Amino acid sequence: MANQNYYKANLRDLTFLLFEQFKLDELLGKEPFANWGRDEVLAVIEEAYGWAQKHLGPINASGDAEGCRLDNGQVRVPAGFKEAWKAMADAGWRTLAIDEKHGGQAGPFTLAMMVEEFMCGSNTSFNMYPALTQGAAEVILAFGTEAEIATYVPNMFNGTWAGTMCLTEPQAGSDVGSATTTAVKRPDGQYNIKGTKIFISGGDQDMTANIIHMVLARTPDGPPGTKGLSLFIVPKVRPDGTPNDVATAGIEHKMGIRASSTAQLVFGDNNDCIGELIGDVENKGMSQMFHLMNYARIGVGLQGLALASSAYLNALEYAKDRKQGSSIKQWKDATAPRVPIIEHPDVRRMLLDMKSKVEGIRALAVKLTMHLDRQAAIDKTGGDKLQSEYHQGQVDLLVPLIKAYASDQAFAICATAIQVYGGAGYLKDWPVEQYARDAKIFSIYEGTNHIQAMDLVGRKLMQRGGANVQAFGKDVGAFIAANKDHATLKDAVAVLGQAMEALTATGGKFAQWFGGGKMEMVPTVANRFLEMMSETVVGWLLLEQAVIAEAAGAKLAADHPDRAFYDGKRFGALHFAYNTLPGVAAKAQLIAREDRTALDIPVAAFAPG
């Protein structure tokens, strides 16, 4: 399997989303995307997909097999990674959506995220290094001084240096406010940094001459909790070329993403670690880091989508080729010919379930990124401020959904793909077992999915006085009203209406619990509510696709190649509407029951004796 590329993506689905469902054309050729047109967008998609298949796909399995190793304090990456890093920097894939004044190409964020899907899907481990580098550079760009921007950002964007984000500590885990890493101001205005960070993705590697760590630390006078944290630029090598006191104490030996070095970093073991405060402002570290984390959470959702999509497409190809058993229509005839397993009903069910969820999650991702691009266009041209706030509000609402739902489903879809392969899927001879191992981390890092659920119910539902969720409900309601009498989809649209009613009623329960002395119920059911909302959004977007596809397909000749594509959109939407969406109302009933068994069971009763 070494040096073999199994990565697959559905480019037709991407162009459908861009130009038929979400109308990127409306933004192209105008500020801030004045230099971009349809042809340029299509060329980038084709070229980036080909590039990922050539440079990243062939070293995915071999990188997984080799992993990273720590050699006298220096992490060594697997064979081929250094060459891929240089090729990536030369090609400029990381700067598609970066402003031209910083060496970027000023393209739509949506396009950059589609390219990100290729990079993640073809080699998740490799792509973590440049993705974190870009995120760290953008934090410096957003909050750093002019001197900090000039010192660090150009070399991070052009691939000369890499970057990380350092939040987690051994005693704190996801409880970032318990961080104890210290930052003491020096006479020269810089800070002495001292502490240990763990689970640092890309914490060390030998692909770049320097690594710029973004480190959360506490100043002596900082208040307790997250409010007392400040953000510091801590390079592995100082700008003057001297080594900083940053040591790699170890790397984790992981279930998946094995070619991404997850390091334990020790800052200031010799009391000589120097950092710069971002923007000369203390106690703003968490708000600054959230600028990175929001985009990182979108990125994790894309990681999940990318692996789920490739797992589905590989399973589909296998199912078309693998012959086993006779048709169910001839099940009594022992002499009947063997058929491809795609003819077996249960395999077809699994494939259609994967297809509908992959394409629905991709639609959710593009819905989110198009809100960002439309907001950017409004802000650049001095447009309607209320519309800008609407788009930002929808982004805020959808971020926890794309991170949590896409990552949960990625692992489940990869497991389903293994099931389609049968015993072969459990072997390393095929790619889906690695996809499953790589995908499991997505629900854990960048804020566990329970953190995403609590963010949704504890903050996002009531942001702007509830205006964001009301606008979302209005958008879904408008679609339902416009299509409730659709000739072929009206029954499925009715199921969406029932899901929306159940979701709205359940959202009101949280307000009751917050104010009615039942706070403990909120975290008990938050994950279930996030799943309900995610399924409602995905069902809505899939049915919207089906409406578009039916109208477009009706205009085509029977033998047109797009007819099958459009048929697939209709069947995928109907399958999700009839097999997944009804679960929204069922989950609402479970939440309304206010079941306390998980809260009331004594600890000893989990495993008595």
Hey, which residues are catalytic here?
446
CA 79 to chain centre: 27
Backbone angles phi, psi at 264, to 5 degrees: -100, 120
* DSSP code of residue 330: G
Phi, psi angles (nearest 5°) of residue 294: -60, -45
Please list the residues that pair with 197 across neighbouring strands: 265
Tokens 């964007």 belong to 157
Give the integer Cα–Cα distance in Å for 123 and 129: 11
**Which element (helix H / strand E) includes 168?**
none
C-alpha distances in angstroms, 286 versus 81, 87, 163, 164, 278? 32, 34, 18, 15, 12
Return the closest-CA partner of residue 438 out of 319, 311, 535.
311
Tokens found for residue 151 = 């010192």
If you ran DSSP here, which 8-state letter would residue 6 be given?
-
Which of 443, 596, 606, 583 is closest to 525 using CA atoms?
596
* Beta-ladder partners of 388: none
Tokens at residue 64, please?
Answer: 């997984």
Task: Show the tokens assigned to 4.
Answer: 């073999």
> Which is it for strands 161-166 and 210-218: parallel, antiparallel or unpaired?
parallel
Q: For residue 291, what are its two tokens? A: 């600028």
The rounded distance, in Å, linking the Cα atoms of 281 and 292 is 17
Q: For the residues of 107-136, what is the DSSP string, one character each?
A: --HHHHHHHHHHHHHH-HHHHHHHHHHHHH
Structure tokens at 433: 């077992």
Instruction: Check if the beta carbon of residue 495 is closer than 8 Å to that of residue 559.
Output: no
d(CA 25, CA 38): 7
Tokens of 146: 């002019």
Angstrom distance (rounded) from CA 547 to CA 569: 9
Give which of 280, 167, 282 is closest to 213, Cα–Cα: 167
Nearest CA to 261 among 208, 204, 213, 197? 204
CA–chain centroid gap for 380, Å, is: 26
Q: Which of 155, 127, 129 is nearest to 140 (CA)?
A: 155
